[in-house]
Structure 1
Amino acid sequence: MATVLYSSPVFGPVHSRRLGVSLGINLLPSDGKFCTFDCVYCECGFNKDFRPKNPLPSREEVKAALETVLKERSEKGLALDVLTFAGNGEPTAHPRFAEIVEDVLILRDRYFPNAKVSVLSNATQLHRPDVVEALKRVDNNIMKLDTADEEYIRRTDRPTGHYDVKKVIEQLKEFAGKVIIQTMFMQGTVDGKEVDNTTDVYVLPWLETVKYIAPSKVMIYTIDRETPDHDLRKATPEQLDRIAALLRRCGMEVSVSY
């Protein structure tokens, strides 16, 4: 099984399908996963197979490593579109996430003032006021919502702790538009049971939910790399285009990654 684990605390830059030239900030250990989801489609593999032994990087380590890279790229005139909190799990699970965001914004302004700061999150830490306030400060607050159906989430995203999709939806609504919704569409089977959130059974309730949240943008995408569960398939371009058209019909801005 091919997996992708990222260096910590800084990796890349990589060319993101959604964000451009992106320098990654990994607040998780480089030797394994540290996540509040255990998604069947995660490029980093299943949590149980990649339990980290190393500690989380400290705030000081993140700041020093990031400044080194940003200073070098600035001096060489190398382009950078975005600084992205991502990596080997859930970035907002880091206990000093809010303080690290503060450091990153300062360094961004110093070296690459035109670059955006993005966070890719599964929205499981929105019960923490410090996380919410930090997310409100970044340029792209990108929160996962694969469906409004709790059973589907438990089968595919597989939360590792308490998860209440209705509560998460209300928390996303509270951003008052300062949020981007990202949704993975796919097909296949998990443990012998069909999963396919491209059908109207899932798409229409999800669409109503997204309208209720009223995000600034919706990012829809599908599988791009090998998944730990090999019985999954990409959503087709036609399926993604249909979903995008439904969103645009509701006046929403949408990006599609095939």
Structure 2
Amino acid sequence: MSRKEAGKKHDVRRRLLVKEDLVYGPLLSRRLGRSLGVNLLGAGEKLCSFNCRYCQCGWTARPILEVGELIADFPAGEKVADALEARLQQVCRESIPIDAITFSGNGEPTLHPELMAIVKAASVLRDRFVPHAKLAILSNSSTVYRPEIRAALECVDLKLMKLDAGSEALMRRINLPAKGCDFAQMLQGLAQLDGVLLQAMFVWGRVANTAPVAIREWADRVAAIRPLGVQVYTLDRVPADSGLTPVSRVVLDSIARYARRRAHVAIEVY
């Protein structure tokens, strides 16, 4: 089944949430400021290695770790660069402030087979049009074990990498990863990535990751990775799984305090 055919099985709400443009925004981000998004997954359908219950874009039709025959669905790197250049030209003409150029969009951006070339092109364009802006990426960390992915990520200023659980069992319940995803490899890749910033989504409901043992295991993983910092947050939009609910600010603050003491890492609550 093609990606397009698989997408027809999913609801209208999800199709409305995916990005239709290669470059979108700028949007006001809680963590990145005024962010110009770069959608590396193409228009229309979500493509991801995870099927996170909390995803605002809905369920993933077919989670994948390897591109395979879906390579034709990705926008060419040159096309992405052209779209970014055109939008940056417009941004400069209209004096629109930009804090970050963020690789994100309809799924997991590191799945794009031309990731390194796109990052390098974006860096050149950033220096030319908005030199004060940061290059950022939002990733679920599933591919970080691959040396070529880490090499591309090293060229990005803000590497915002996902870690929602401290155990493989809980990660699989929350993130519902593609077949072949290896939690131990993912942790090792994160530890090998310089300047990583971890992001953790905490939820209640059908699945929860706030129990004391879950927080202790998560904090120990954070300590082993030694990130520059950690961003802790909860649901802000409608999740794919309607059985999830946001965690209270009091609980988030408690998680952050505990993890700061145990992992000796700067942790911010959003």
The two structures have a TM-score, normalised by structure 2, of 0.88
Asked if structure 2 preserves the Cα contact closer than 8 Å seen for 1:8 and 1:27, the reply is: no
Which residues in structure 2 correspond to 1:127-138 (within 5 Å)? Answer: 127-138=145-156
Calculate the aligned-residue CA RMSD, in Å.
2.0
Equivalents in 2 of 1:127, 1:252: separation in Å?
A: 22
* Structure 2 residue matching 1:141: 3-state secondary structure: strand
1:228-243 → structure 2 map (5 Å cutoff): 228-243=240-255
Alignment of 1:1-258 (within 5 A): 2-3=13-14, 4-48=17-61, 55-176=73-194, 178-189=195-206, 195-249=207-261, 250-257=263-270
Number of residues of Structure 1 aligned to a counterpart in Structure 2: 251
Q: CA-to-partner distance for each residue in 1:58-82, whole Å, 9 max, x for gaps? A: 1111111100111111122210000
Mapped contact 1:221–1:256 kept (Cα < 8 A) = yes
SS in 2 for 1:89: coil
CA distance in structure 2 between the partners assigned to 1:204 and 1:49 by the alignment: 32
Whether the aligned pair in 2 keeps the contact of 1:180 and 1:217 (CA below 8 Å) is yes
Q: What is the deviation of 1:125? A: 1.4
Secondary structure of 2:224's counterpart equals: helix
CA contact (8 A) 2:74 2:112 kept: yes
Contact persistence 1:18–1:255 (CA under 8 A): no
SS at match of 2:136: strand
Q: Distance in 2 between matches of 1:98 and 1:120?
A: 15
Contact 2:190 2:196 in 1 (8 A): yes
Contact 2:166–2:220 under 8 Å retained in 1: no
5+ residue gaps, structure 1: 190-194
Shift of 1:251: 3.7
Deviation at 1:248, TM superposition (A): 3.2
CA deviation after TM superposition for structure 1 residue 208, in Å: 1.1
Moved over 6 A (4+): none
* 1:24–1:102 CA distance, 2 compared to 1 (3 A): same
The amino acid of 2:177's aligned partner reads: P
Residue 192 of structure 1 is matched in structure 2 by none
Ranges in structure 2 where 5+ consecutive residues have no aligned partner: 1-10, 64-69
Check whether the contact 1:37–1:160 (CA below 8 A) recurs between aligned residues: yes
Q: Kindly state the Cα deviation for residue 152 of structure 1 after the two structures are TM-superposed.
A: 1.4
What is the identity percentage for the equivalent residue pairs of Structure 1 and Structure 2?
A: 38
| TM-score, normalising length: structure 1 | 0.92
Give 1:56 shift. Answer: 1.3
| Partner Cα separation in structure 1 for residue 141 and residue 241 of structure 2 | 23
C-alpha offsets along residues 117-166 of structure 1, whole Å, 9 cap, x if unaligned? 11100111123322111101111111111112111111120111212212
Matches of 2:138 and 2:160 in 1, distance apart?
5
Give per-residue Cα distances to partners, 1:227-248, cap 9 Å, x unaligned.
Answer: 1211100011011101111233
Task: Give the letter aligned to residue 202 of structure 2.
Answer: F
Aligned partners of 2:47 and 2:62 also within 8 Å: no
Question: Aligned with 1:196: secondary structure?
Answer: coil
Q: What is the DSSP-based 3-state SS (H/G/I as helix, E as strand, rest coil) of the residue aligned with 1:48?
A: coil
CA drift at 1:32: 0.5
